[in-house]
Structure formats: structure tokens, C-alpha cells
A = this chain, B = another copy of it.
Amino acid sequence: MISTTSLFAPVDNDLRLLTENLKKLVGARHELLEAAAEHLFEAGGKRIRPAIVLLVARATMLDRDITLRHRRLAEITEMIHTASLVHDDVIDEAELRRNVPTVNSLFGDRVAVLAGDFLFAQSSWYLANLDNLAVVKLLSEVIRDYAEGEIQQAMNRFNPSLSIEAYLEKTYYKTASLMANSAKAAGLLSEVPEAVAERLYSYGRYIGLAFQIVDDILDFTTETEILGKPAGSDLISGNLTAPALYAMEAKPYLEVLIKREFSQEGDIEQALALIKESNGIERSRELAADYAKLAVQQLDCLKPSEASQALADLADYVLSRLY
């Protein structure tokens, strides 16, 4: 697996500054949230979302310095992402994330709902104060999409008729919208032409889809200890992702197990075995690879630079997480 440290080298200092700023922002004002903040912004996050914003900023500014607004936009993406994780964990009653206990399991649902609301609210406020209406619209779309995706996911729990298209739509809403709209917004802050902004949007969209499909594969293939949460946890909670959806085509009995919500002893073990025997994981990997390739193709709108190369390498990194 490629390390993100070398990958993000062009924005290494920017990312360090960002982490410090985020911790100060949340922790300094509220004792109650201080522990949660340390926890949230230290817990081994890969900072992929702000890294994309900062790399797009560098790749589109080139000989100019990136602006405070670019940095603020990067912070906003990480705040929205973190807020969504915190509420996600309340909704899923998750106890572990990245091998660390979740905010809800440590501090209770009360603090978790509050901390998520605080981060969403703070990000809305920062956003409004970027003084750029086009950027405000793009990021407000992200917050709306996140809620939409979360609802679609909740509505389709244990629904074996979920199509791969509906899964991809939900994945766009929950994950790729943030990367797509924030990459475009970073371009708008650099005043790139509209056509370039659209390519940056597509880059973010494709890399976001690839990233989430890989994440969904890893949920099946990784050991619990490395994953930081129980393996197969998506399936167990009824969240049907690409590997399970593809596997159902080859193993129809999987549908029976899902429909009865794994209510009989041994159902889960059997379902996990059926998925591993099927070509579901291989087909998901191919889908992710296709999206990663599409992402890289969008980058020909940028002049070659260390930062644009890092954006291309990010696509390899996303896939390398599988090996």
C-alpha cells in the first residue's frame, strides 16, 4: 500500500496546519467538546478530502500562492466530513471507527448529536464567510446530498432489490458529492475557466466513487483488527454494497438470507462465505479501477505540476488500499 505521507508531500505543511486549526476551532471554545475534538481530528484520518482541495488549489494557482480561502475551504470539507461521520455513527449505533471508540460510544448520543451539529453549523458559517456565492451553493449542495444519501441508505436496509445504479447514486450523495463539489469549488477560488471547473468536478466525482467502492470491498476483505470495526459490518447492518449486490447475481440464496435479515443462526457466516465464493469482490474491484482511470483522465485540463501529479497518484493510492 502506498503511504499518504509521500503522496500528499506537496501539501504536507498545509495539512499539518489544517489539523491544528481544526482542533483549536472545536476544542478551544468548549470544554465539553474538547475531548471529542482531540478524538475526532487525531484519530488517524487520512485527510483525503482537504488534501484534494489543497492539491487542486496548488495545481491551479501554480506560481501564485494559495489563498486563505483555499485553506478555509479545505477545513470546511474536513468539518463536513467529520460531522457526517459522527452522526453516521449515532445512526448506525457504531462502537468503533478506525479502531477507536466512536464519539457516541465514548460520550453518549447527546454529545455526538451536539458535536455533529456544531461542526455542520461551523462549516455553514465559514462557508458563508468565504464571500463567494457560487462556492456557497456548491457546498450547501454537499450537505444536502449527504442527508439525502443517508436517508436513501436507511430506507434500503436489507432491501435485496437495490440496484447497483441506486447503490452508486447513494454513494455519490454520501461520499463523492463532497469530493466533486469541493474540487470544483477550489478551482473556482483560483478563477479557472468554467470548463476546467467541470473537469475538476468530474475528477472528484470519479475518485470519490472509486474510494467508496474500495472502502466497501475492504469491509469484507479486511480483518476486524486492521479495519477498526467488525468485518462485514455493512452487510450485518443491512447496508448492501457493491460486493453483496454483485454476489447476489451469482448466488441467489444470498437474497433469502438478506430478506430474513440474518435472523437464523449461521446466516451471517453463510452470507459472508457466499460473497467470498462469488465474483462480487472482483467485479467491485474492476468497477473501482474503471472510476479511478476516469478520474485520472480528467486531469489533462491541468498544466503538469507536482500537485497535478499527486492528484493522479491519488487514484493509484485509492486502488492500492486493496493490496
Contact = CB atoms under 8 A, between A and B. Distances in A.
Interface of A: 30-33, 87, 90-91, 93, 109-111, 113-114, 116-118, 120-122, 124-125, 127-129, 131, 133, 136-137, 140-141, 143-144, 146-148, 150-151, 154-155
A151 B110 contact: no
B133 A118 contact: no
17 contacts: A30-B155, A32-B155, A87-B117, A91-B109, A91-B110, A91-B113, A111-B154, A120-B147, A121-B144, A124-B140, A124-B143, A127-B140, A128-B133, A128-B136, A128-B141, A131-B133, A133-B136
A118 B147 contact: yes
Contacts of A124: 124, 140, 143-144
Contacts of A148: 118, 121
Contacts of A129: 137, 140
**Nearest 3 pairs between A and B by C-beta?**
A128-B140, A121-B147, A118-B147
A128 B121 contact: no
Taken together, the copies of this chain in the complex come to 2
A32 B154 CA distance: 8
Main secondary structure on chain A at its contact with chain B?
helix
Given A128-B136, A129-B137, A131-B133, A154 B121 contact: no
Given A30-B155, A116-B117, 12 more contacts: A32-B151, A90-B109, A93-B110, A117-B150, A118-B147, A120-B120, A120-B143, A121-B140, A121-B144, A124-B143, A125-B143, A133-B133
A124 B133 CA distance: 12
Contacts of A131: 133
A151 B114 contact: yes
Contacts of A133: 128, 131, 133, 136
